[in-house]
Structure 1
Amino acid sequence: MRSRRSSSGHCSLGALGAALLLGALSGAQALNVRVLVSSGQQVTVRVPVTPTPTSPLAAPSVLAALPQPPTMNTWLVGVSGRQPGAHLTLGGQDAGNTALYLPPTPGSVVEISGRFYRGGVLLRAQDGGVQAINVVDVEDYLRGVVPAEMPSGWPASALAAQAVIARTYVAARINPSAPYDTCATESCQVYRGMDAEKPGPDAAIAATASQVIAYAGKPASTYFSSDSGGFTASSAEVWGKDIPYLTARPDPFSANGPRSRWRLEVPLSKVQAVATQFGAKVGALRGVSVTRVSESGRPQEITLSGAAGVAHISGARAGGFVRALGATSSRAILSGLSPLIVEGSGAGHGVGLSQYGALELARQGYDHLHVLGFYYPGTTLNRLAGVRDSGGPVLAGAQPLPELGIPGLPSAPGPSWLALRAVAGTP
C-alpha cells in the first residue's frame, strides 16, 4: 500500500495512519499465518515505497536478485508505557492504538528488525514492549522454513516430506483467537523469511501445495528430529503422551547417519551437578546406571547411588537426564563414573520423522508419501482447504498414506551397547 513520505524519507505519523489499519486481523486471508518474528522495547519496520514484484514459487528467489525499491519507509515503533492498554508509538509519537496492521498484498515485502519477509506486519503492544508479527501466506511462509530446517541440496522427496510436515505443523496452530499462530525460532519451527529461500525447497513446496497429514480428521503432530539412531522413539517415552502414530519402531534408514554412533566422557563434577538438577539427593555419587529401557532402547529408568542413598529417575525424565549430560540423543548407555562414559546413536528426540532417514529413503527412490507413511503410520494425506472462523483448519480429500513393509527387522533392543549396535547396523 503506497503512502506519503516526509522530507526525511521516514514515514510521517499521518502517512503511517493511512497505510496501517488499526485493530485485529478479522480481514486476514484464510490461509495466512501469523508468525512472531521480533519483539523488544522498540522494533524497526521498513516497507518499500513501491511494491516489489514477486517471482514464481518454483523460481530462484534469493533476496539479492529482487528488484530493489528506490526508497523505503522506515518506522521506529515503541510503546508509551508498561501499563495495560499502553499505545504504540511511532518515532516517539503516540499512534493512538495498541495495535497497527499493514495487511499483505500480492507481492508485498516488509523488513522487520533487519530481515526481509513476504506479506505484511501486525505490530502490537505487549508487556511494555512491541511484538512484530509477520502476516504471510502459508505457502510463502514455508519458503522461509523448509531450507532453515533441512539442507536445501537434499533430494526432492526428502524436501517434499519436510514441506508437508512443516505445513501440517503450522496448520495445527492457526488460531484466530490467539495473538499469533507460531514463532520463528526452534521453540516452534525455524523461519528465516526471504533470506532462506532456495530453488530446491521452493520446488518441493510448490509440488506439495496445500498437502498436510492428518489423524482422525485433524492435522497430525508432525514431530521430527535429525537422526533416530536406528530406532524411532514413541511420544509416550519421550514426553509421557501416547500418540497412536508416533510409535517406537526400527528405522534402518537412519543407520548410517553422521551421528550413527558417538561417545562422550562426562566429568564426575558435571554428573553430580546434573543429578542435583534432577532432584537426586544421594550425596557423593558412587554409581550411575540405566536399569530400564524403552522399546526403542532409550533409558526409562536411571539409578543413582551415593553416600546418602539411592534415587531413581524414571520415564521421560530419564531421557532428559541423559541429554542434560550433553548427549545429542537419549538413545544411549552409561558406564564408568569418573568420567561417566555415555555411548549412543542418533541426534534429537527421535520422535516422528528422522531427517537422515528421509534422506536415505529418498536416495533409495521412495517418494515423499512413502517417507511420510513410514514415519507417521496410520495417518492420511489431506489438503488444507481453509480455516474456520472459530479456529482450526478445514481439511479435505483424505487418502491413506502408503506404509513400507520391511521384513526381518530386529525386535526391541535391550540395554546393552551390543543391542544398540545391532539395530544401528541393520542393512
Structure 2
Amino acid sequence: MRSFLILLTAGLLAQLAPGTAGATNIRVLVASGKAVSVRVPITPSVAQGAAGYASWTVGALGSHLSLGGQDAGGDTLYLPPVPGSTVDIDGHTYRGGLLLKVVSGVVKAVNVLDLEEYLLGVVPAEMPSSWPTEALKSQAVIARTYAAARINPTSYYDLCATDSCQVYGGVARETASASQAVQATRAQVVSYAGAAARTYFSSDSGGYTASSLEAWGQDQPYLTAKPDPASQGPNSRWTLSVPLSRVAEVAARYGVQVGSVQSLTITQLSASGRVTGINVVGSAGSRLLSGADAGGFVRSLGARSSRVNFSGSDPLVIEGAGSGHGVGLSQYGAAGLARQGWNYLQIMGFYYAGASISSILADTRPGGLLTAGVPFREAQPAPLAERPAAPPVVALDPWVLRSPGL
C-alpha cells in the first residue's frame, strides 16, 4: 500500500511551537532495545485521504534508525500527536506522540504527551484507585509536581516509566476515579520559593517521616521528620531474619572486611529513628558504617526501610517499620488522613509543611511558569480554569520519510 508517514526530527523538542502558552508537554522513556515495534496514526494528508494506522519495526543501522530494515536517514524521528489518537509501543498503548532515537546502538522510544494526559496513566499505577478520593487528589498533585520539576531540556526525555522515576502505565492503567482526581486538581502543583517543589513520596513512613537531609544530605525546609500516626499500611511493622553469612556478603560490598561477622550494633539514629550508624564486629576486628552507607547497608540486607532495630545472633533479626525512604508524603498516611476527613490540601500541607499550592500557567522549561503560591493552610479546594491540551511539540527543519516501496 502506497502511503507516506510524516516524521519530524526532534533535536529541539525542548521548544514548544509558537502560540502554545498554557500547555505542558512531558517526554517519557517507555521502551528501549535493539528493536522496538510501533503502531502509529497516519492522517488523511499523509495517506492520500485514508486515515488509519501503520505498524513498523524500528531498529538501528549504525548510528541511524531503520524502519522495516530501511535506513531512516538520521538518529532521531518524531511523530507529533494526532488529537484523539494513540500510539502503540511494544504492545502498550499511549496517548500523544512518539519520539524515536538511537543512543549507542539502542533504540529509545519516548512518549510525548500533555502532562495532564500523562497523569491519567500515573496516578492509578502509583496508588490504588479504590482509595479515598482526597488521597488520589494528593497523589495527582504530587505526581504532577514531580514531573514538572524534572523537565530537562538538555536530555531527549524527562522521565522514565518505572519506579525509578514514577510508574506510568499508559492507557491500560487508566481508571475513572484516578482520572477524576487528575481533572479535579488540573494544573495544581506544590511550590516553594516560586518553583515546583521536590515532592518525594513513599509507600509507608512507618509512623515517622524522614527529612531530606537525613536521607540524602539535601536540606529542604518542607521535607522534615515528624510523627505520622496515620501511616498504617501492611508493612507498618515487619520482621526479617538474615543469616550472618549473608550479612558478611553485603558488608563486603560496602568495604567492610572484618572476617567472620559476629554481631551488629546500631550506634546512631536519625531524628526519625532511622539507622545512620552501625558497628560491624567480626573475628578480625570491627568497622563502623555511617550516614547513607548505614541505611543502604540495611536495605541491601532486604529490609523494607531503614527504620529498624537489631536483635538475635545468627540469624540476625531485623524488626522494622514502614516501606520506602519515608521522605515526603506517605501514601498509606495520605489514605489514613483522607479516611479521617482531611481534604487533599490539608494532607499535602501536613507532608510538605511550609510549601504552597500553585498552578502551572505555561510551559517555559523547566518547571513551567507558576502562579503565586498560596500556603496550604490558607488554600481552599476549588476547580481551576481549564487549560488547553498540549499541541504537538514541533521541531524545526521537518523532513519526510517515505515508506518502503516508494
Pair 1:22 & 2:9 matched? yes
How far apart, in 1, do the equivalents of 2:274 and 2:331 lie? 19
Moved more, 232-241 or 42-51: 42-51
Deviation at 1:41, TM superposition (A): 1.0
Verify the 8 A CA contact 2:34 2:105 in the aligned structure 1: yes
Q: In the alignment, which of 73, 96, 111 is matched to residue 96 of structure 1? A: 73
Matched, 1:380 2:356: yes
Tell me the SS of whatever aligns to 1:122: strand
Query: In structure 1, what is the equivalent of residue 342 of structure 2?
Result: 366
Q: How does 1:98-137 map to 2 (within 5 A)?
A: 98-137=75-114
CA displacement at 1:334 relative to structure 2 = 0.6
Q: Which residue of 2 aligns with 1:72?
A: 53
Unaligned runs of 5+ in 2: 45-49, 379-406
Residues 343-352 or 239-248, more deviating? 239-248
Give a deviation string over 1:271-299, Cα, whole Å, max 9, x none. Answer: 11111111111111121011111111111
Q: After the TM superposition, which parts of structure 1 deviate over 2 Å for at least 4 consecutive aligned residues? A: 22-30, 48-51, 69-72
Partner amino acid, structure 2, of 1:37: V
For 1:22 and 1:71, the matched residues in 2 are separated by 22
Note the aligned Cα RMSD (angstroms): 1.7
Map residues 12-91 of structure 1 onto 2, 5 A cutoff.
15-16=4-5, 19-24=6-11, 25=13, 26-27=15-16, 30-49=23-42, 72-81=53-62, 86-91=63-68
Deviation per residue, 1:365-412 (Å, 9 max, x gap): 1000011000011000000112226x4421113100129xxxxxxxxx
- Percent identical: 56
8 A Cα contact 2:192 2:373, kept in partner: no
So what's the TM-score if we normalise by structure 2?
Answer: 0.87
- Which whole-Å CA distance do the structure 2 matches of 1:396 and 1:178 have between them? 26
How far residue 108 of structure 1 moved from its aligned partner, in angstroms, is 2.2
Alignment partners' CA distance in 2, 1:116 and 1:144: 11
With CA pairs under 8 Å and 6+ residues apart, which has the higher RCO, 1 or 2?
2
Aligned 8 A contact 1:374 1:402 in 2: no
Q: Which residue of 1 aligns with 2:327?
A: 351
Counterpart AA for 1:368: Y
Match of 1:217 among 194, 198, 215: 194
Query: 1-side partners of 2:140 and 2:336: how far apart?
Result: 17
SS across alignment from 1:327: coil
Amino acid of the structure 2 residue aligned with 1:40: G
Deviates more, 1:69-78 or 1:100-109: 69-78
Cα deviation digits, residues 332-369 of structure 1 (max 9, x gap) = 00112200010011111111100000001000110000
Residue 395 in structure 1 maps to residue 370 in structure 2: yes
In structure 1, C-alpha distance between the alignment counterparts of 2:195 and 2:250, rounded to whole Å: 39
* 1:159/1:204 contact within 8 Å kept: yes
- Residue 70 of structure 1 and its aligned partner are, at CA, apart by 9.8
**C-alpha distance in structure 2 between counterparts of 1:199 and 1:252, whole Å:** 30
Aligned to 2:206: 229
| 2:249 alignment partner, one of 263, 273, 276 | 273
Deviates more, 1:205-214 or 1:311-320: 311-320
CA pair 71-387 structure 1, distance change in 2 beyond 3 A: closer
**C-alpha distance in 1, partners of 2:106/2:300?**
33
Does residue 172 in structure 1 map to residue 165 in structure 2? no
Deviation at 1:27, TM superposition (A): 4.2
How far, CA to CA, are the matches of 1:175 and 1:228 in structure 2?
29
AA matched with 2:268: R
* Whole-Å separation in 1 of the counterparts to 2:352 and 2:367: 21
- For 2:146 and 2:350, how far apart are their aligned partners in 1? 18
- Do the aligned partners of 2:10 and 2:99 also contact (CA within 8 Å) in 1? no
How far apart in 2 are the matches of 1:210 and 1:202? 13
Instruction: Please state how far the C-alpha of 1:71 moved relative to its aligned partner.
Output: 5.7
Unaligned runs of 5+ in 1: 7-11, 52-68, 404-427
2:382 aligns with none
